[in-house]
């Protein structure tokens, strides 16, 4: 397709990342996707053999850098970089959250975003074109009990994104995107049985996919929410 986009997506094996990847692949776009689950990555490879999917833990800076090098060696450059990968803590008051659980959440939700930006953004800046979309949350703009670590990580994503936006050259953008409340495994963890009352990831992607591809330089520095969610 003439308007083929190269889109990097983390957390591509399930939930919002997978729904977006499959929607865009069906439209002819190119996906460079990563996830921690080998079974999920291998399933995507079988279904979409012409795309690039790799097992990468975004918390591992070296693994992210090596993956980016492999992606970029063919000369293509991402049009969109989507930092979607994230985890949520098991519901608990902050003082009862295990130290290792808190650290792992920050490693993925905050450091992972930094690792991807550091690995892919310089190549995007060569063309002075492209959009970095860091997935935030309603809990990156408000708070709720028993998910303080997750709230902290998403507030960090909001601040990181706004600061990055001030550093980018004209023609590029960094956006913090709240996907809305979507029925995923993460929502099951937080909401329990109530999670089933919300739209699923595929339904969400039907609206979110074209909305995201419509974002551009004029949205730089904005904190946005997918309309309708």
Spot the catalytic one: 24, 53, 135, 150. Answer: 150
Residue 111 CB-half CA count within 13 A: 15
Active site residue 198: no
Residue 52 near residue 32 (C-beta atoms within 8 A): yes
Burial 77-103 (b: 16+ CB within 10 A, else e): bbbbbbbbbbbbbebeeeeebeeeebe
Distance CA 92, CA 97 (A): 6
Residue 143 near residue 187 (C-beta atoms within 8 A): no
- Number of alpha helices (DSSP H) and beta strands (DSSP E) in the chain: 8, 7
Residue 224 near residue 36 (C-beta atoms within 8 A): no
Helix 148-167 / helix 99-106 crossing angle, nearest 10 deg: 20
The CA distances from residue 147 to 106, 110, 120, 155, 186, in Å, are 13, 15, 30, 12, 12
Could you list the active site residues?
Answer: 150
């Amino acid at each position: 397709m003439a308007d083929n986009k190269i889109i990097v997506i983390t957390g591509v094996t399930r939930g919002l990342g997978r729904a977006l990847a499959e929607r865009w692949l069906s439209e002819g776009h190119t996906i460079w996707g990563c996830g921690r689950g080998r079974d999920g990555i291998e399933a995507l490879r079988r279904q979409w053999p012409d795309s690039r999917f790799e097992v990468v833990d975004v918390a591992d800076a070296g693994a992210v850098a090596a993956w980016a090098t492999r992606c970029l060696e063919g000369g293509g450059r991402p049009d969109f970089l989507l930092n979607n990968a994230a985890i949520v803590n098991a519901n608990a008051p902050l003082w009862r959250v295990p130290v290792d659980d808190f650290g792992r959440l920050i490693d993925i939700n905050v450091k992972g975003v930094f690792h991807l930006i550091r690995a892919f953004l310089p190549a995007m800046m060569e063309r002075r074109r492209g959009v970095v979309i860091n997935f935030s949350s309603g809990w990156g703009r408000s708070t709720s009990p028993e998910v303080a670590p997750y709230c902290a990580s998403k507030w960090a994503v909001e601040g990181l994104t706004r600061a990055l936006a001030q550093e980018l050259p004209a023609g590029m953008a960094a956006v913090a995107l709240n996907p809305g409340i979507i029925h995923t495994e993460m929502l099951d963890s937080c909401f329990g049985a109530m999670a089933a009352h919300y739209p699923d990831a595929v339904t969400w992607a039907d609206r979110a996919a074209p909305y995201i591809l419509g974002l551009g330089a004029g949205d730089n520095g904005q904190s946005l929410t997918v309309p309708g969610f």
